[in-house]
Amino acid sequence: MSRHSYTYKALNSLVGKAIHRYGMIEDGDRIAVGLSGGKDSLTLLWALAERQKRVPVHYDLFPVYVDPGFPGGFSDELAETCRQLGAKLTIDRTDHGIVAHSAVNRENPCFLCARLRRKRLFEIADGLGCTKLALGHNKDDVIETFFLNICYAGETSTMVPRQELFNGRFIVIRPLAMVDEKRIRHFAKALQFPPFTNPCPSAGTTKRSEIKAMLEGLYRTNRKIKGNIYRAMSHVKMDYLLK
């Protein structure tokens, strides 16, 4: 078995496990796939497109990229990458990133930009006749969000693999929720995905980056810590929490 085949088999097993456990995809689904240009969302699109060819469940994919408007963007190059993967990319060119980093914004720039992007993704998905939106958040993202919410929001919560919104009108799915970022990194390298550089001036300087660095320090001390944290989020003893 080639390295490429082994890498995909391991990743696909985890993607399939998440899809089945949380009932993410049903026959006849029209699924918008939110792309960022990063390894996670490209891996997500590739994995879902590959599954289309092998599973008895029929679904259609509609990749979408909301361009934040920074100079040095890569919309056209991303569209070509999607074409090579057999998908047509819908590009929405906005000024969300520019506005979020301007003097008129009184909020955290990342918070506002993400909120505007998510709103547009739902609007575009609706226009495409999609009722599901697939996002490329991985296992590390789920854990990091858990700690972000504890440290900066004062609540015990995280992003979930399947989430119904707007009274069930839309469903957000995260098929990579059980996949480690490291595995995705190796997969993207094996497939030689183009390294799109994020032009955002806040890239790498967010609170998420700080949480990631803290967790990586913990993981180096004991390789079981990441798995224990992930399992702890579904093994909650309510009687031993403050009320």
pLDDT at 148 (0 to 100): 95
pLDDT at 22 (0 to 100): 97
CB atoms closer than 10 angstroms to residue 215: 18
Q: What is the mean pLDDT of residues 122-127?
A: 96
- What span, in angstroms and rounded, lies between the C-alpha atoms of 147 and 156? 8
Q: What is the mean pLDDT of residues 226-235?
A: 96
Q: What is the mean pLDDT of residues 157-183?
A: 95
pLDDT at 4 (0 to 100): 56
Percent of the chain with pLDDT over 70: 96
46-61 confidence digits (pLDDT tens): 999 999 989 999 999 9
Burial status of residue 49 (CB atoms within 10 A of its CB: 0-12, 13-18, 19 or more): middle
Beta bridge partners of 104: none
pLDDT at 19 (0 to 100): 98
pLDDT band at 95 (very low <50, low <70, confident <90, very high): confident
Q: What is the mean pLDDT of residues 146-166?
A: 95
pLDDT band at 170 (very low <50, low <70, confident <90, very high): very high
Torsional class of 204: left (φ above 0), alpha (ψ -120 to 50), beta (otherwise): left
Torsional class of 167: left (φ above 0), alpha (ψ -120 to 50), beta (otherwise): left
User: Could you tell me the domains of the chain?
Assistant: 3-240 (3.40.50.620)
Percent of the chain with pLDDT over 90: 73
